[in-house]
Structure 1
Amino acid sequence: MSHRSLVGRLARFAAAGAVGTLAHYALLLALVEGGGVRPVFGSVAGFVLGALVNYALNRRLVFRSDRAHVEALPRFFAVAGVGLLWNALLMYGFTVTLGLHYLLAQVVTTGLLLIWHYTGNARWTFRKSDAASDAMKR
């Protein structure tokens, strides 16, 4: 991948992530401020919504994947599942153990998980399917 292509893909990844993050935070705020839900649980619910938004945007706009949904979706949710676990653990550590405000804790957590999500999805979830890669090598 050329430097220009990589920069473009990273920019699209960041934009898709911003939309997914907006969905995540909107649900988090609605549940915590409006619904009286505890911040860790609101964060987890927001994370799931953000993951669904990100799958759709990343598959189509960022990685332009040809991998079938039956292959890509479980991989995406495996990467997201590990991210979800880290999200919950980090949110617990930052809010309960360190006493940070939940929104600051979520911003820090989101930043830390950005690297995990990009790498996992670029190298595993949305990379060219094995059959397509094999055909290109011939």
Structure 2
Amino acid sequence: MQLRTFLNDLSAWSESRSDVLGLALVGSHARGAARPCSDVDVIVLCEDPLKLADSDGWIARFGDPLKKMTETYGVVRVVRVFYGGGLEVEFGLSPVDWADVPLDAGTRRVISEGMRILYDPKGLLRSAEIAAAA
């Protein structure tokens, strides 16, 4: 699966869910520095990151998941998925307050290192982006 197709599918999925309040591409792909072997990093602002992390059905919407690993970084529950075809995605499932201003140091770092907003109906990610740039 190509990155553009994946991001379009992920954006459509985010828009279809009432519990997802924001989506952003972060990391090397967001800053235009990705290499062929780079994984895809996304932040998913959601009402219940733990519930979403424990559910496997949604990850299969984006390809054939060969392996899934879960990690925690602060308030972010990361679901790393290795898809058939070589796509590796790090879904950063984050509570809505991850984007609260004033930003904590971890959020500021992630945003400052590159963020491309894909879905932000309430402007939460945009507000965080402005705060990180200040």
- Measured against the shorter chain, the TM-score band is 0.3 to 0.5
More strand by share: 2
TM-score, structure 1 normalization: 0.34
More helix by share: 1
- Determine which structure has greater relative contact order: mean sequence separation of CA pairs < 8 Å that are 6+ residues apart, divided by chain length: 2
Q: Which has the larger radius of gyration?
A: 1
TM-score, structure 2 normalization: 0.34
